Amino acid sequence: MPLTDTACKNAKPKDKPYELADEKGMFLLVNPNGSKYFRMKYRFNGKEKNLALGV
């Protein structure tokens, strides 16, 4: 299920960082200080990697 604009804006910080999943490895990382970052998980040579896409 795709991540909506309102879900991103309404994401509140918690005690620990958490992820709101989008499709095909993309997710929104919400940190305890309230910062939000888009990231993408992928595999290269059998190892999981993260790509930072921006705020």
Find the angle CA(53)-CA(13)-CA(5) to the nearest 5 degrees.
Answer: 50
CATH number for the region 5-54 comes to 3.30.160.390
Residue 34 and residue 13 in contact, taking contact as beta carbons nearer than 8 Å: yes
pTM of the full structure: 0.85
Reading the block at residue 13, the tokens are: 């910080």
Q: Give residue limits of the domains in the chain.
A: 5-54
For residue range 9-48, what is the model confidence (pLDDT) as tens digits? Answer: 999 999 999 999 988 889 999 999 999 999 999 999 999 9
Length of the chain in terms of residues written: 55
In the predicted structure, residue 51 carries a pLDDT above the cut 80: yes
